[in-house]
């Protein structure tokens, strides 16, 4: 099994640089994120109902838990637990339904940022160190073109035909969801169950990510890393445990991210449920990474 704490998909080559590059407008991504937000803001108030709000909460919570947190992040990227291939594919499909990227895109985006933040210095696009409005524009509407980028080898995920299909059709994957919601409740269900859900997921992901790399409590620092992470306590529950980002930088390969008392972690609770039913095994926790402690320094908790 690959090291869950490593950046497994990325291959450094001579001359690779995490600092040199230019941010370019990405018209497709910009139209996608901007269109979803505009539809939610403009059409949301006129289509709101108790049923539409229930659909919004249920669909947003389920795709963030099953897909983004467990399927994409803890399984596909960090391989912090093992499960049957059919279950992995179901979870990855839920991750695609979040509406931020396909499986290959999310691996590349995550691992590039992960690798860059472990370097002594990296481009402000990769560190979230720009002013908040500029960072929002960059992350939601642009792409970074490094002058000397690393290579990627996505391994089995890159060869998987189902994942290739999801990568090619990740935006179109919303269409059958929209059709089902329209049949169940009309345009109100579509606006709140697709447009508002995708908009809050993408913009919320950026916002929590920005805070998690710029401010908030810290308990551990990673030696040699130019970018240190912070926890975002108010977002711990709604992000399924992902907002305990200081913990995650300390132990990237851990399936458990909420490590301390009072830190909710619904993603890990779901993995434990899978484990009890025999659908997950080799669940990684910090206790398995004793060698990792040599890279960590404790700090006083500060806001």
Instruction: Profile the chain (303 residues) by mean pLDDT over runs of 10 residues.
Output: 80 91 98 98 97 98 98 97 98 98 96 95 96 98 96 95 98 98 97 98 98 94 93 96 96 95 96 98 92 81 47
Parent domain of 113: 21-147+158-298
CB atoms near residue 207 (< 10 Å): 18
- The answer as to whether 96 is a domain residue is yes
- The answer as to whether 101 is a domain residue is yes
Q: Write out the H or E segment, with its range, that includes residue 144.
A: strand 142-146
- The answer as to whether 303 is a domain residue is no
Helix-strand-coil percent breakdown of the chain, rounded to 5? 55, 10, 35
- The answer as to whether 13 is a domain residue is no
- The answer as to whether 4 is a domain residue is no
Residue 222's SS3 state is: strand
- The answer as to whether 58 is a domain residue is yes
Q: Give 295: exposed, middle or buried? Use CB within 10 Å, 0-12, 13-18, 19+.
A: middle
CB atoms near residue 22 (< 10 Å): 12
- The answer as to whether 7 is a domain residue is no
Contact yes or no for 255/81 (Cβ under 8 A): yes
Report long-range pairs for 12-16 (Cβ below 8 Å, ≥24 apart). Answer: 12/115, 12/150, 13/150, 13/151, 15/148, 16/148, 16/149, 16/150
For 18-55, the DSSP string reads: SS-EEEEE-HHHHHHHHHHHHHHHHHHHHH--HHHHHH
- Closest CA relative to residue 69, chosen from 213, 229, 195, 256: 256
Distance CA 283, CA 267 (A): 12
Distance CA 278, CA 84 (A): 10
Q: Give 60: exposed, middle or buried? Use CB within 10 Å, 0-12, 13-18, 19+.
A: buried
Q: Bridge partners of 296? A: 222
- The answer as to whether 87 is a domain residue is yes
Please give the model's pTM, rounded to 2 decimal places. 0.94
Distance CA 228, CA 107 (A): 20
| Number of independent structural domains in the chain | 1
């Amino acid at each position: 099994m690959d090291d869950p704490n490593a950046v497994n998909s990325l291959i450094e080559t001579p001359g690779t640089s995490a600092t040199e590059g230019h941010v370019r407008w990405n018209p497709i991504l910009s139209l996608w994120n901007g269109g979803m937000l505009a539809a939610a803001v403009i059409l949301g108030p006129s289509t709101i109902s108790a049923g539409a709000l229930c659909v919004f909460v249920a669909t947003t919570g389920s795709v963030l838990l099953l897909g983004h947190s467990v399927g994409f992040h803890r399984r596909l990227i960090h391989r912090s637990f093992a499960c049957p291939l059919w279950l992995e594919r179901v979870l990855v499909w839920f991750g695609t339904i979040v509406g931020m990227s396909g499986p290959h895109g999310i691996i590349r985006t995550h691992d590039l940022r992960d690798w860059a933040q472990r370097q002594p210095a990296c481009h402000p696009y990769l560190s979230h160190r720009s002013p908040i409005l500029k960072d929002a524009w960059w992350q939601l509407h642009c792409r970074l073109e490094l002058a000397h980028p690393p290579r990627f080898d996505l391994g089995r995920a890159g060869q998987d035909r189902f994942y290739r299909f999801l990568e090619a059709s990740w935006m179109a994957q919303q269409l059958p969801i929209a059709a089902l919601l329209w049949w169940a409740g009309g345009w109100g269900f579509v606006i709140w169950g697709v447009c508002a859900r995708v908009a809050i997921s993408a913009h919320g992901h950026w916002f929590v990510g920005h805070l998690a790399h710029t401010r908030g409590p810290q308990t551990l620092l990673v030696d040699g890393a130019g970018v240190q992470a912070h926890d975002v306590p108010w977002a711990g529950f709604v992000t399924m445990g992902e907002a305990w980002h200081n913990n995650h930088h300390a132990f990237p390969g851990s399936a458990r991210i909420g490590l301390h008392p009072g830190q909710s972690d619904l993603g890990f609770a779901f993995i434990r449920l899978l484990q009890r039913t025999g659908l997950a095994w080799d669940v990684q926790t910090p206790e398995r990474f004793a060698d990792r402690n040599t890279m960590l320094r404790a700090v006083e908790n500060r806001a």
